[in-house]
Amino acid sequence: MNEKFMPFLLDFYCREVVTRICEKYSLSEFDAMRRFLFSQTYEMLSNPKMAMWEFGQAALFEIWECEQETGNPRNSQYIAGE
């Protein structure tokens, strides 16, 4: 992945996931953004070696939700491989 392209990908996925968080949990954009940016899911997404952008925004939202429910985003069906 070209490192110059990475900020654009992060911006795109952050907007999409935050919008989903706002809609589903009735949070303000600020609160949703804060929850996502301080998550392990975001940390994994911002690591180019993990190639998390390959999952798509719906899957990233599910991974984030799994992290909120279980404490570990790796428990998601997308990562655990159920």
Q: What is the pLDDT of residues 43-64, one digit of tens each?
A: 999 998 888 888 989 999 999 9
pLDDT tens digits, residue range 11-55? 999 999 999 999 999 999 999 999 999 999 999 999 988 888 889
H or E stretch covering 80: helix 77-80
DSSP 39: S
Distance between CA atoms of 82 and 71, rounded to whole angstroms? 18
Number of H helices, E strands in the chain: 5, 0
Place of tokens 């940016």: 37
CB 62 within 8 A of CB 76: yes
